[in-house]
Homo-oligomer: A and B are copies of this chain.
Amino acid sequence: MTFFARMIAIASLALGLAGSIPALALDDPLPSWNDGATKKAITDFVAASTEEGGAGYIAPADRIAVFDNDGTLWAEKPAYFQLFFVIDRIRAMASEHPEWKDAEPYKSILAGDLEALAKQGEHALLEIVMQTHAGMSVDEFKSIVTDWMTTARHPKFQRGFDTLIYQPMLELLGYLRANGYETWIVSGGGAEFLRTFAERTYGVPPQQIVGSTIVTTFEMRDGKPVLVRQPKIDFIDDKDGKPVGINKFIGKRPVFAAGNSDGDLQMLQWTTAGNGPNLSVIVHHTDAEREFAYDRASSVGRLDKALDAAPAAGWVVIDMKNDWKQVFPGQ
């Protein structure tokens, strides 16, 4: 029961109104979700999964739930939040790199021309990611990200990026955990980037993060061991990589998966192909007013093939505008 539900319950009892509030409403594990088919599909699945002897029962050890992050647990527009980090870092590091003002892709970033940056393609992106993510110890990197997160603000909402998380999905994470599920993040974003805030914001500890990684090496520096981040891709946890990452890190097939884009298609397919009961959901960004509305035509978080596949696969499509009472906490 949430704090508010509890307060209402206590107030109701004090006022002699207890009978007028249905017990179900008081115990609602997903208060930010509107009642309807979407919410019912989720609560029916979870309730059945804990009912021993029932057809929908799932043994506790198999209750593995995986969540994409960008666009599923927090926003991803107008660009992946980790890209804002990269750009801010390039600007912060520019004074030590006078050569950048004449060299692409740095020149475009320093001029604030992100369109020109985008046109330079994947190679340019990789260069600035490595420039900002490698060459320091794991601890140093985490400390840089943590500092950035306290000051950086989202261009549209003017709020810290770690506050642009979806309240209904926080409730879903908590609801699953309360029913014995292990909740994992399986994200195309950087694992160490995620680890700086996932426990605090989502209640997901570092050892339940599957993300993209760069190579790290073990070194002794002044007799102290350090892990140093190298400018080399280790693993990209996106598309085909998601089931691969799930198998590598978790070693068993999830029974619940949540995604929002074609980057999650294979993760949903992998989950659905399990032998027992399972549920996959897709967050569909339909709310231009409270958040952003986009799907098939978007370059960030494109949802096209997975949206086509959803009906036949039995995936529940969450209509953000109509299924969610609230998008961000405190909104």
Residues of A near any B CB (own CB < 8 A): 61, 64, 138, 182, 191-192, 195, 199, 205-207, 209, 213, 216-218, 220, 224-225, 227, 234, 240-241, 243-244, 247-252, 266, 269-270, 273
Residue of B nearest to A268 (CB): B225
User: A206–B64 Cα gap in the complex (Å)?
Assistant: 12
Give Cα A262 to B74, complex, Å: 44
Sample of 12 further A-B pairs with CB below 8 A, known A216-B247, A218-B266, A227-B247: A61-B205, A64-B207, A182-B207, A191-B251, A205-B251, A206-B250, A216-B248, A218-B243, A220-B269, A224-B273, A225-B270, A225-B273
- Which 9 A-B pairs give the minimum distances between C-beta atoms? A206-B251, A218-B240, A207-B250, A218-B243, A225-B269, A195-B251, A206-B252, A225-B273, A225-B270
How far is the CB of A211 from the nearest CB of chain B, in Å? 10
How many copies of the shown chain assemble into the complex? 2
Set of chain B residues within 8 Å of A251, measured between Cβ atoms: 191-192, 195, 205-207, 209
Tell me how far the C-beta of A175 lies from the nearest C-beta in chain B, rounded to whole angstroms. 21
Name the CB-closest residue of B to A272: B225
- A209–B251 alpha-carbon span in the complex (Å): 8
- Taken together as a complex, chains A and B put the C-alpha atoms of A195 and B249 apart, in Å, by 11
Chain A to chain B contacts (Cβ below 8 Å), 17 pairs: A138-B247, A182-B207, A191-B251, A195-B251, A206-B250, A206-B251, A206-B252, A207-B249, A209-B251, A216-B247, A218-B240, A218-B266, A220-B269, A224-B273, A225-B269, A227-B243, A234-B248
Contacts of A234 in B (CB 8 A): 248
* A257 shortest CB reach to chain B, Å: 12
Q: Give complex CA distance A61, B207 in Å.
A: 10
CA distance A207 to B234 in the complex (A): 20
Chain B residue at minimum C-beta to C-beta distance from A242:
B218
Q: How far is the CB of A217 from chain B (nearest CB, A)?
A: 7
